[in-house]
């Protein structure tokens, strides 16, 4: 029998890559999408199947992690072999502005799904993946971070995800649910949301390169992250649910770069030489070719409490699941820059043809 999976957060970056991956593996894929006043399925539109077609393998359901009865109904209908809980208010900075909503969706949302499995008597059938995060380490207690490194969350987002982490462990131990935490370090792609720092950088530099934007405003340029490619990481999410016994795993590349380095690498890819502090200019980034400031630090992007440095040790996942990331840092940046350059070119064409384009920036 082909397996069925239910993905919450299917319209997000990881949801799109995971849906594609599972469809290729022969799964029937169900996804939970939120009702919005405009279309929010751009990342998965290429997978769409007309509801009038018989034997569809890609099916979307309206739902929300804050709505327990809705989740119970969807899970009852679908009877999934696997649930991937990717839905979340996933922006760390935004969580300081919406802490209660973040806790409701990210912490209680996870509880609602686990309780649904229990209420419906699916403990032995349905395997559960929880999208845990390197943000749990926050103020890091050990370098690099492993599955055993103590947590010290530094944002409402991370505190909510801490609850989700432990409730997954608890339901595994209390009720025998096959539940796993993937402690994923930052992973990016051309599908990354536009307000996360990597995508913000590649999108802005591509537009600056074509003269569509003057300056990129960023916050902490010194933050250090372990950045991988989302496509590599969704494979691990699946692998975790295919083992004999459930467990928690760190997923990371084991390599660290600063936000500043990300900017420099993206600029190099575009052939723009940028100088920063310590290279003859202050904190700003200056285009060496024309002396113009292309990067400025704006304190509005600083966080009340920052996570300064993250570096993962993926040894356990490599040894037990035989996984290693395929895409390195330079290749990741290149893919993102190229995709955003194509987007910027389309925008330039529209402008030249006299069509006004509204391009929001944050
Ligand atoms: P995105 O922000 O791209 O996607 C989040 C998804 O969750 C979207 O589909 C969004 O829907 C949906 N969502 C948000 N709130 C709700 C809600 N209340 N009910 C139902 N759906 C909701 O995140 P990513 O794909 O990058 O990340 C996937 C998961 O992995 C998240 O849980 C994130 O916290 C976690 N994570 C991500 C990492 C990363 O580096 N990308 C690293 C570690 C963990 P909509 O499209 O309508 O907004
Ligand atoms: P993060 O990702 O907080 O690590 O959470 P983000 O890309 O938002 O920030 C990374 C680092 O860059 C610094 N930074 C900026 N960040 C943003 N967004 N915008 C800026 O202008 C800017 N300037 C500097 C930040 O301060 C931070 O240090 C991501 C999310 O996907 C989470 O859901 C996930 O759990 C973690 O990764 C692992």
Tell me how far apart the alpha carbons of residues 269 and 217 are, in angstroms, rounded to a whole number. Answer: 20
Instruction: Please enumerate, as own/partner, the contacts of 233-237 that have beta carbons within 8 Å and a separation of 24 or more.
Output: 233/14, 233/182, 233/184, 233/187, 233/325, 234/14, 234/17, 234/18, 234/21, 235/21, 235/323, 236/182, 236/184, 236/317, 236/321, 236/323, 237/14, 237/18, 237/84, 237/129, 237/131, 237/182
What is the per-residue pLDDT for 74?
Answer: 98
Q: Which residue out of 17, 27, 84, 157 is catalytically annotated?
A: 157
Among 342, 56, 18, 12, which Cα is nearest to 196's? 12
Q: Which ligand is closest to the CA of 298, given by its number?
A: 2
State in Å: Cα 193 to ligand 1 middle.
Answer: 9
Contact 85, 110 (CB under 8 A): yes
Tell me how far apart the alpha carbons of residues 79 and 83 are, in angstroms, rounded to a whole number. Answer: 10
Q: Whose CA is nearest to atom 43 of ligand 1?
A: 133
What is the per-residue pLDDT for 284?
Answer: 83
Distance, C-alpha 309 to centroid of its chain: 18
Q: Is the CB of 193 under 6 A from ligand 2?
A: no
What is the per-residue pLDDT for 189?
Answer: 98
Tell me how far apart the alpha carbons of residues 23 and 3 are, in angstroms, rounded to a whole number. Answer: 10
Active site residue 157: yes
Q: Is the CB of 306 under 6 A from ligand 2?
A: yes
Contact 207, 344 (CB under 8 A): yes
State in Å: Cα 350 to ligand 1 middle.
Answer: 31
Q: Is the CB of 218 under 6 A from ligand 2?
A: yes
Q: Is the CB of 337 under 6 A from ligand 2?
A: no
Contact 270, 339 (CB under 8 A): no
Predicted structure pTM score:
0.98
* Atom from ligand 2 closest to the CA of residue 217: 21
Mean pLDDT per 10-residue section of the chain, whose length is 362 residues: 96 98 98 95 96 93 98 98 98 98 99 98 98 98 98 98 99 98 98 98 97 95 97 98 98 98 97 82 84 93 98 97 95 98 97 86 78
Q: Is the CB of 200 under 6 A from ligand 2?
A: yes
Q: Which residue out of 133, 149, 168, 202 is catalytically annotated?
A: 133
Active site residue 188: no
Q: Is the CB of 338 under 6 A from ligand 2?
A: no
Tell me how far apart the alpha carbons of residues 336 and 110 are, in angstroms, rounded to a whole number. Answer: 31
Q: Is the CB of 223 under 6 A from ligand 2?
A: yes
| Residue whose entry in the numeric block shows the structure tokens 């990331």 | 325
Active site residue 54: no
What 8-state DSSP symbol labels residue 185?
P
Q: Which residue out of 135, 188, 269, 335 is catalytically annotated?
A: 135
């Amino acid at each position: 029998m082909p397996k069925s999976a239910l993905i919450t957060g299917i319209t997000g970056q990881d949801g799109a890559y995971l849906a594609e991956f599972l469809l290729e593996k022969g799964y029937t894929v169900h996804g939970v999408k939120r009702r919005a006043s405009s279309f929010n399925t751009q990342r998965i539109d290429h997978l769409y199947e007309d509801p009038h077609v018989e034997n569809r393998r890609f099916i979307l359901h309206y739902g929300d992690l804050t709505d327990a009865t809705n989740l119970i109904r969807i899970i009852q209908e679908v009877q999934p072999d696997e649930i991937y809980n990717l839905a979340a208010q996933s922006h760390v900075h935004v969580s300081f502005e919406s802490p209660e909503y973040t806790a409701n969706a990210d912490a209680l949302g996870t509880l609602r799904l686990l309780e649904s499995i229990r209420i419906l008597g699916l403990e032995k059938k349905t395997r559960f993946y929880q999208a845990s995060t390197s943000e749990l380490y926050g103020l890091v207690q050990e370098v690099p971070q492993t599955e055993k490194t103590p947590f010290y969350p530094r944002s409402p987002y991370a505190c909510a995800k801490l609850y989700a982490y432990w409730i997954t462990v608890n339901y595994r131990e209390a009720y025998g649910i096959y539940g796993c935490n993937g402690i994923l370090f930052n992973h990016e792609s051309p599908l990354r949301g536009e307000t996360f720092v990597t995508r913000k950088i590649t999108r802005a530099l591509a537009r600056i390169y074509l003269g569509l934007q003057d300056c990129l405003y960023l916050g902490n340029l010194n933050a250090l992250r372990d950045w991988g490619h989302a496509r590599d990481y969704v494979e691990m999410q699946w692998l975790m649910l295919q083992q004999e016994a459930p467990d928690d795993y760190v997923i990371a590349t084991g390599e660290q770069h600063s936000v500043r380095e990300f900017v420099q690498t993206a600029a190099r890819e575009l052939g723009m030489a940028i100088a920063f502090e310590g290279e003859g200019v202050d904190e700003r980034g200056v285009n060496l070719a024309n002396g113009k400031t292309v990067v400025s630090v704006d304190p509005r992007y600083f966080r009340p409490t920052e996570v300064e440095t993250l570096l993962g040790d993926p040894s356990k996942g490599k040894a037990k699941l035989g996984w290693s990331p395929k895409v390195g840092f330079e290749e990741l940046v290149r893919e993102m820059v190229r995709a955003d350059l194509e987007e910027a070119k389309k925008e330039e064409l529209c402008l030249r043809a006299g069509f006004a384009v509204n391009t929001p920036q944050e």
